[in-house]
């Protein structure tokens, strides 16, 4: 089977962005489960060596193509794939970037090749638009029960939704990066410094516990809130270190040295950072109301709290007890064994195969019934 479509991601081994990690790790493994790939990548894709089972077409666009322009850029490519019989299935890694050109290209080509969209979460700003695109796909693969529930609520047929849990890389244990922390209980925030991730909550929680327990925080990531957070940290007497954007290797060094991961994001389709930290035995504190609760076992491997600084501070205080933290650490490592990229790829390949074989294909048109 040959699956393919246009792509906006760079698929670099150094990317830590959740969606890019998902694509990189999934696409690397799909050929091992009988799915070869033809990918239309941006000209600055940074894939130096093609994995076995990949065929790449270098397209004219660069990384960062805005989704409003993608139909103009990607539809001709989709048409060429279909008219030349180069794919058995069209796959889209982003609902807005690739969904419209895949669906439009198929309609223009009068093709019956199935379209599969991979979905992580609904952004409230674009929920109605995304829902309209997703309802037209033959199948939607999502990464959590939380996201599946969201999709049903916006009208996607439950029979077309497939929940496939994400995986976690497992590089060898590192020597760590303990010197990144000024001292005390080592707290870690890792992610984009943007409004939806709410990184300011970690600083406010640290402010509340200082004086009751010795602790410090490393903030790893970049984004539009960076200057604001640095200014805010000045009142915390050097107990916060900003690491900026970190490489994949440094990310795992941070996990291997951290005592507690703080993850206050209010909009997540899975919470890959939490799953990764759990795989290293790092208890996590996450905000309620997102799929992140599925990436840990609340009360046993970490805490899901109301999202306020008070809630995070109380959880940090509970985890400042070394015995309780050690118990949760052991449970976290065991719990994270369920997150496996090879299993993820096998299940995704099964969905693709059922569509190509004609099982689970979209409902037939009314006139053919």
Task: Show me where the domains of the chain are located.
Answer: 2-167+341-368, 178-338
**Please, which residues bridge with residue 140 across strands?**
117, 161
Answer for the pair 76, 41: CB distance below 8 angstroms, yes or no: no
Contacts of 5 (CB under 8 A, 6+ apart): 39, 40, 74, 78, 81, 87, 90, 91, 92, 93, 98, 102
DSSP-derived secondary structure for 152-181: HHTT--GGGEEE-------PPP----GGGS
pLDDT in tens, the chain (369 residues): 999 999 988 777 777 777 888 999 999 999 999 999 999 999 888 787 888 999 999 998 888 889 999 999 999 999 999 999 999 999 999 999 999 999 999 999 999 999 999 999 888 889 999 999 999 999 999 999 999 999 999 999 999 999 999 999 999 999 889 999 999 999 999 999 999 999 999 999 999 999 999 999 999 999 999 999 999 999 999 999 999 999 989 999 999 999 999 999 998 889 899 999 999 999 999 999 999 999 999 999 999 999 999 999 999 999 999 999 999 999 999 999 999 999 999 999 999 999 999 854 444 443 333
Please say whether the dihedral angle defined by the alpha carbons of residues 154, 140, 159 and 163, taken in this order, is positive or negative. Answer: negative
Global confidence as pTM: 0.90
Give the count of alpha carbons within 13 A of 236, CB side only: 26
Q: Is 3.30.565.10 the CATH number for 2-167+341-368?
A: no
Pick the CATH number of 178-338 from 3.90.320.10, 3.40.50.2000, 3.90.1530.30, 3.20.20.100: 3.40.50.2000
Same fold, 2-167+341-368 and 178-338: yes
Angle formed by the axes of helices 341-356 and 18-29, to 10°? 70
């Amino acid at each position: 089977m040959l699956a393919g479509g246009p792509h906006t991601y760079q698929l670099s081994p150094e990317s830590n962005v959740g969606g890019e990690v998902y694509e990189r790790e999934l696409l690397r493994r799909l050929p091992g489960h009988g799915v070869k790939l033809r990918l239309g990548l941006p000209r600055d894709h940074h894939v130096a060596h093609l994995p076995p089972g990949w065929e790449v077409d270098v397209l004219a666009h660069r990384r960062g193509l805005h989704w409003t322009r993608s139909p103009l850029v990607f539809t001709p490519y989709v048409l060429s794939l279909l008219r030349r019989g180069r794919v058995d299935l069209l796959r889209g890694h982003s609902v807005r970037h690739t969904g419209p050109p895949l669906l439009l290209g198929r309609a223009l080509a009068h093709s019956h090749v199935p379209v599969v969209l991979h979905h992580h979460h609904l952004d409230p700003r674009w929920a109605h638009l995304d829902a309209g695109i997703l309802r037209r796909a033959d199948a939607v693969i999502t990464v959590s029960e939380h996201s599946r529930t969201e999709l049903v609520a916006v009208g996607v047929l439950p029979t077309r939704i497939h929940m496939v849990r994400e995986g976690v890389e497992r590089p060898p244990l590192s020597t760590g990066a303990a010197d990144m922390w000024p001292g005390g209980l080592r707290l870690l925030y890792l992610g984009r410094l943007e409004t939806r991730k709410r990184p300011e909550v970690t600083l406010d929680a640290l402010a509340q516990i200082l004086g009751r327990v010795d602790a410090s925080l490393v903030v790893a990531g970049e984004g539009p809130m960076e200057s604001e957070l640095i200014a805010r940290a000045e009142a915390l007497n050097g107990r916060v270190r900003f690491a900026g954007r970190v490489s994949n290797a440094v990310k795992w060094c941070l996990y291997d040295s951290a005592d507690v991961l703080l993850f206050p994001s209010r909009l997540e389709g899975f919470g890959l950072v939490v799953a990764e930290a759990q795989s290293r035995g790092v208890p996590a504190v996450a905000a309620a109301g997102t799929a992140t609760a599925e990436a840990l076992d609340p009360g046993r491997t970490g805490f899901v709290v109301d999202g306020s600084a008070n809630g995070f501070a109380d959880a940090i205080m509970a985890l400042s007890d070394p015995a309780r933290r050690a118990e949760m650490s052991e449970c976290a490592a065991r719990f994270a064994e369920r997150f496996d990229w090879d299993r993820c790829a096998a299940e995704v390949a099964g969905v693709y195969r059922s569509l190509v074989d004609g099982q689970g294909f979209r409902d037939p048109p009314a006139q053919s019934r």
